[in-house]
């Protein structure tokens, strides 16, 4: 898809609110209304295409009082699918201020929806001919530059979302610690990010024993990826920590076969960190950000860590391993502590497909959050609302904190039934933040789906790349 300012397309797209008038010829309008072919419901599409037609597409935006950026995205996703289905080569869309939504944001939501219609993961299948359409956006002269700036930004953010989707969709024999680290280095260095990859001996020298314990069961060596984008002098970095389990068999607490099939997706947190930093750097956003990924596999061999083991951590805290399938928090613990103890961060965000309990609590479409800082969480919430990614904060009580404390070790890596597993997992991670402002994002539900939903395709969604991008871009420690 390509987007330009102008009005030179072959097909005209006309947008309409539900049960409101729309700008077409009276003859066409009468025909449509008499035959009840279009009412303007959200994502409703009417087409009149071909050599003897008006070359017209009507697109429903839904009820005017319900208009939002997300509803615009979803309507224009339907338009994008229609353009592709009918092999439309060029079209015109008039960009207008819709009630409280400005020209720029309207255009960005339009473009985002259309772009999402064109996503396909086809790395391992015979590729179809790539579809392309020139989309002309008709906009007031005085609004052109703002709209162009918005288009450039949303194209870059969506590029990051698609990058994340591709990484998560790739199987574990294609994306594993070494290839994930190499991808980060090769891709990010092109946009000015400094990438350092620590090997096993270097990880050992940091005494990341929790991370290394998880990695022991795999023949593939772990990697610790450090990604630094630092455009500003004397500014503390925002540290993003992504869970990087490129495959999770559960270790000795082995998963059933049905539960293992999609465990290639257990590195979605790391994919979102890599991809959001890519978009931030490509857009030259003036915020310091450092990404950290402790990447390995959770497998089974004679060296694998066991249920009942007591292991150490970079912080020095001892951890009793109650369940080897609660491995993500062990890798994150050392990565978070590295960020807290070595990088003097402004704040820390960790992103992980961490708990099935989060899905039971919130369903498969919502990010669950735990935070030690109200102000920081509100900034994250604002970013998620702007981008259309759902986020809900869990409460934390004294009983949750008590439940992660061990009797023969400082901490337990898993808690029993009825303890609020999504919450206690976050509380476990909080122990390693050294009291820096911190938000934990559990993306176990929305990171990957067997069905399409919203503007997200079947498979990997790319969540929460948009939220992370906007959080970093708009972060202001004084507000």
Residue 159's alpha-carbon distances to 55, 152, 402, in angstroms, are: 30, 11, 43
**CA 473/CA 186 separation, integer angstroms:** 23
Q: What are the backbone angles phi and psi of residue 170, rounded to the nearest 5°?
A: -70, 140
Active-site residue set: 255, 329
Q: What are the backbone angles phi and psi of residue 342, rounded to the nearest 5°?
A: -110, -20
Other beta carbons less than 10 A from residue 8's beta carbon: 11
**CA 7/CA 9 separation, integer angstroms:** 6
Judged by DSSP in three states, 354 sits in coil
Beta strands at 289-298 and 238-248: parallel, antiparallel or unpaired: parallel
First to last CA, the chain: 38
**CA 68/CA 406 separation, integer angstroms:** 48
Other beta carbons less than 10 A from residue 89's beta carbon: 13
Judged by DSSP in three states, 461 sits in coil
Q: By the 8 A CB rule, do 389 and 463 touch?
A: yes
**CA 384/CA 429 separation, integer angstroms:** 22
Q: What are the backbone angles phi and psi of residue 92, rounded to the nearest 5°?
A: -115, 135
- β-sheet bridge partners, residue 440: 350, 370
Q: What torsion, rounded to 10 degrees, do the Cα atoms 103, 105, 107, 108 define? A: 160
Q: Strand locations in 304-389, DSSP E?
A: 310-311, 319-320, 347-352, 367-371
Residue 54's alpha-carbon distances to 24, 50, 76, in angstroms, are: 10, 8, 20
Residue 165's alpha-carbon distances to 69, 71, 123, 259, 265, in angstroms, are: 22, 22, 12, 20, 10
Give the contacts of 177 (CB within 8 A, at least 6 positions apart): 220, 221, 222, 223, 244, 246, 295, 296, 297
């Amino acid at each position: 898809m390509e987007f330009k300012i102008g009005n030179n397309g072959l097909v005209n797209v006309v947008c309409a609110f539900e049960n409101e008038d729309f700008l077409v010829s009276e003859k066409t309008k009468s025909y449509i209304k008499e035959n009840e072919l279009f009412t303007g419901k959200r994502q409703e599409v009417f087409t009149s295409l071909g050599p003897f037609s008006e070359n017209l597409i009507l697109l429903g935006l839904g009820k005017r009082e319900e208009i939002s950026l997300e509803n615009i995205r979803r309507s224009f996703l339907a338009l994008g699918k229609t353009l592709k289905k009918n092999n439309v080569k060029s079209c015109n869309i008039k960009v207008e201020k819709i009630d409280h939504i400005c020209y720029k944001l309207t255009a960005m939501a339009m473009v985002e929806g259309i772009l999402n219609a064109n996503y396909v993961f086809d790395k391992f299948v015979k590729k179809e001919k790539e579809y392309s359409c020139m989309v002309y956006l008709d906009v007031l002269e005085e609004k052109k530059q703002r709209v162009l700036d918005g288009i450039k930004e949303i194209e870059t953010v969506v590029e990051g979302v698609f990058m994340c989707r591709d990484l998560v969709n790739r199987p574990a024999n294609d994306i594993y610690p070494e290839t994930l680290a190499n991808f980060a280095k090769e891709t990010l260095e092109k946009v000015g990010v400094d990438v350092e990859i620590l090997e096993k001996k270097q990880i050992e020298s940091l005494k990341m024993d929790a991370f290394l314990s998880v990695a022991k069961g795999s023949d593939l060596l772990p990697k610790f990826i450090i990604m630094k984008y630092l455009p500003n002098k004397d500014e503390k970095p925002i540290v993003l920590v992504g869970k990087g389990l490129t495959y999770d068999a559960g270790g000795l607490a082995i998963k059933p076969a049905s539960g293992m099939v999609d465990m290639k997706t257990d590195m979605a947190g790391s994919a979102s960190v890599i991809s959001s930093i890519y978009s931030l750097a490509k857009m030259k956003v003036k915020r310091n950000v450092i990404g950290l990924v402790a990447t390995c596999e959770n497998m089974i061999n004679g060296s694998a860590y066991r249920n009942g083991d007591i292991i150490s951590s970079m912080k020095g805290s001892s951890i009793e391993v109650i369940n080897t399938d609660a491995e993500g928090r062990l890798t994150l613990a050392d990565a978070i502590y590295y960020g807290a103890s070595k990088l003097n961060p402004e704040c820390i965000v960790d992103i992980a497909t961490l708990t099935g309990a989060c899905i039971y609590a919130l369903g498969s479409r919502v990010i669950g959050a735990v935070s030690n800082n109200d102000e920081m969480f509100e900034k994250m919430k604002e970013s998620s609302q702007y981008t259309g990614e759902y986020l809900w904060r869990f409460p934390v009580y004294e009983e949750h904190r008590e439940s992660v404390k061990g009797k023969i070790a400082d901490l337990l890596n898993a808690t029993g039934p009825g303890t609020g597993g999504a919450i206690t997992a976050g509380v476990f991670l909080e122990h390693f933040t050294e009291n820096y402002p911190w938000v934990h994002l559990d993306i176990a539900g929305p990171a990957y789906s067997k069905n399409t939903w919203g503007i997200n395709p079947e498979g990997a969604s790319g969540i929460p790349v948009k939220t992370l991008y906007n959080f970093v871009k708009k972060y202001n420690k004084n507000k």
